[in-house]
Structure 1
């Protein structure tokens, strides 16, 4: 248990420092000091700072994709509309709970590095597959309008990442503070409005019914 706590403390400390000081501006010793451990433990678990970076980005996207995959699995028993809301609420909660790591990772993937390209190729393929399946079922079942799926996925991804890439814009335009604990619920509702008014076919009774369904992951 102690070893697991040490490893998690290192990851949490690195996520905080990488977010606030940047990857290049953070030293291994600073991470060790914040985690209250020895530098040797970072070498033991991750080899070096680059290994720690790779681990953080990979594990972040493993959990991120798992949320979308679970919503995809739910297609057998739920409507496409419900599954899409599962994705929205699940990702917003995950990002809120890991806000420092989320902001750092989202900034990091804007850099065209070999590491990011290698990691993102796998996860982007899975993400596209699951989301496309949800949208295709929605269109086929006439829940969704006939929308251009690739561009709709891009719009959705942009909205989900907005609070952590552009926090000041969120505060000025929507009056939502990204680091407040209520942001996931409040902002999820804003995205759900977009789903109801842009993606879904007009059917107020279906919308009203959906909004009363408790959807959790």
Structure 2
């Protein structure tokens, strides 16, 4: 493993266990078995390392979303949305330590996170909105509040990484296992159906005593 990757892996591990502010550059260097100067050389310090990790995560995250959006004209909106959710789940699983750290970090109010909000998360909102609007336009989804749906979908997608300790220590669920991802996806689809399914028309009946 090269020096740069060793620093990245060490930082992700330490940021998860001790938090960004609780981790020193020297600790990262020690765990990565590199000289402290290498962190400045590759990332311009701990702040630059944080910016790289957050940006790197969201580049892949948005790519998974964009891929499905690009296929929208040739497929149903429901199919694209379902595949998008699955691709996000798999992407997060493949990068689970980084996902856990980034999703926690995004809950904080910092200059970096505000920049993330105005770039990556605005893109996420755009693509989710476009697919949901198209599905409503085609009659695949019921008309509903799109911001509320996005909020619920994001909560479902990110929950395993914000509540990983609770899942493993209290519910005895192992979110790092692929089996969990597949089962959890089924539950997300159930939630999606309840959110977007068009209501059944209830026929008026005459009650006879």
Instruction: Give TM class, smaller chain.
Output: 0.7 to 0.9
Equivalent residue, structure 1, for 2:104: 107
- 1:154–1:48 distance in 2 versus 1, CA, 3 Å: same
C-alpha separation in 2, matches of 1:176 and 1:76: 38
Contact 1:159-1:191 within 8 A present in 2 as well = yes
Matched, 1:141 2:138: yes
CA shift for structure 1 position 30 = 2.0
Matched, 1:90 2:76: no
With the length of structure 1 as denominator, give the TM-score of the two structures.
Answer: 0.85
Q: Deviations over 1:191-214 (max 9, x none)?
A: 0111223313379xxxxxxxxxxx
CA shift for structure 1 position 17 = 0.8
Matched, 1:81 2:101: no
Structure 1 unaligned residues grouped into runs of 5+ = 204-217
Q: Deviations over 1:38-57 (max 9, x none)?
A: 22221111010011001111
Structure 2 unaligned residues grouped into runs of 5+ = 201-209
C-alpha separation in 2, matches of 1:172 and 1:202: 38
Using CA pairs below 8 Å that are at least 6 residues apart, which structure has the higher relative contact order?
Answer: 1
C-alpha separation in 2, matches of 1:183 and 1:40: 40
Contact 1:74-1:83 within 8 A present in 2 as well = yes
Contact 2:149-2:195 within 8 A present in 1 as well = no
**Aligned with 1:186 (options 183, 186, 190):** 183
Q: How does 1:8-157 map to 2 (within 5 A)?
A: 8-157=5-154
Contact 1:162-1:170 within 8 A present in 2 as well = no
Equivalent residue, structure 2, for 1:163: 160
Equivalent residue, structure 2, for 1:201: 198
Contact 1:19-1:100 within 8 A present in 2 as well = yes
Aligned length: 200
Larger Rg: 2
Equivalent residue, structure 1, for 2:174: 177
Moved more, 47-56 or 164-173: 164-173
C-alpha separation in 1, matches of 2:131 and 2:166: 30
RMSD between aligned alpha carbons? 2.0
